[in-house]
Amino acid sequence: MPSSTPSHRSPSGRSVRPPVTITGAHGRIELDVARPAGDGPYPVVLIVHEGLGVTPHLHALVGRFAAAGYLAVAPNLYTRDPVRRSFDPEAVIRFAPLAQAAEREAAIAALPSGERATARQVATWFADRNLSSAIPDLLETLTWIAGQPDASIDQVAAIGFSQGGAQVAQLALAGAALAAGVIFYGTLPTPEQASRLRIPLHGHFASDDPQVNQRIAPFSAAAKAAGFGFTHVIHAGTAHGFFNESRPSYAPEASQQAWVATLAFLARVLPAHPVAIGSLVPPAPIRQPSNIR
């Protein structure tokens, strides 16, 4: 295996890794894969994207985990979605929040006339997405990881954001081959489901996120009663999406604290790997209007 994942520059100047394509039961799945420098085997982080999909933020995050010593893999759960693939990532970041607007058409009508058609298309797509193949695609990705000669297959953790955080919890409930999970502002399992979990979980939540946070206390109590580890942090003064520098809710200090805490958690559950100091540096903010789940 190469010591580091090659990349090239897009016309916009961003570093781009060509995706790895695998085939699952439902069809093609594109993976964003980055390997650390040096020889493996490496501990693995499966990164599950938020509702926006694979964006420049997520692509950069894959690289950050590789710099921290992990084989980082992020499947594109919208690979087979031709509508999502037709959109520019910036358009998705900007207009997907309209899907949750109380008065969607009024919000679209307030936009410049040249933006309304795209805004309506993006908002409609986001509201009507079919996520039924997401868990099967994630399980297929784990199967691919298990076949990589430079992967420590007993040292695989999953980390997910918002929608992806909830999917990490679903993977854990399904008995996926994981050593640990990290959930960023994703919906937790019910207390009744807690007894089915067999891996440690770590969570980061925004203080201003009542829909997600209503499950934290009951799940935490049930996890303690079931005897498995669940640690979490509620970051004061933050809103949903605070980790993502492309969203207006981005909170640099909380994002950095969550990143360092996540690396510390992974170092405990996936021991014996280096953590690059450079990986601790937070990214520069990319301001985009977005507040979606």
Structural domain boundaries of the chain?
8-81+131-280, 85-128
Of 74, 71, 75, residue with least CA distance to 2: 71
The residues with which 181 forms a beta bridge, in sequence order, are 158, 201
Confidence of residue 290 (pLDDT cuts 50, 70, 90): very low
86 Cβ contact partners less than 8 Å away, ≥ 6 residues apart: none
In this structure, are strands 201-208 and 15-16 parallel, antiparallel, or unpaired?
unpaired
Q: Within 13 A of 179's CA, how many CA atoms are on the CB side?
A: 18
Q: What is the pLDDT of residues 50-80, one digit of tens each?
A: 999 999 999 999 999 999 999 999 999 999 9
Distance CA 88, CA 99 (A): 17
pLDDT over 90, % of the chain: 75
pLDDT at 40: 84
Superfamily assignment of 8-81+131-280 in CATH?
Alpha/Beta hydrolase fold, catalytic domain (3.40.50.1820)
DSSP 280: G
Of 147, 161, 207, 171, residue with least CA distance to 53: 161
Distance CA 242, CA 57 (A): 12
Confidence of residue 272 (pLDDT cuts 50, 70, 90): low
Q: Within 13 A of 99's CA, how many CA atoms are on the CB side?
A: 22
Q: What is the pLDDT of residues 81-99, one digit of tens each?
A: 999 999 998 899 889 989 9
Token digits for 292? 């979606």
Q: What is the pLDDT of residues 121-135, one digit of tens each?
A: 999 999 999 999 999
Distance CA 255, CA 260 (A): 9
pLDDT of 12 higher than 60: no
pLDDT of 266 higher than 60: yes
153 Cβ contact partners less than 8 Å away, ≥ 6 residues apart: 44, 145, 146, 177
pLDDT over 70, % of the chain: 87
pLDDT of 138 higher than 90: yes
pLDDT at 2: 40
How confident is the model over 237-266, as a mean pLDDT? 95
- Which range (37-41, 166-170, 238-242) has the least confidence? 37-41
DSSP 99: G
pLDDT of 223 higher than 50: yes
Confidence of residue 49 (pLDDT cuts 50, 70, 90): very high
The amino acid sitting at 209 is D
Distance CA 134, CA 183 (A): 16
3-state secondary structure at position 163: helix
CA 51 to chain centroid, in Å, comes to: 9
Distance CA 164, CA 35 (A): 22
Burial of 106 (0-12, 13-18, 19+ CB in 10 A): exposed
Q: What is the pLDDT of residues 155-171, one digit of tens each?
A: 999 999 999 999 999 99
DSSP 194: G
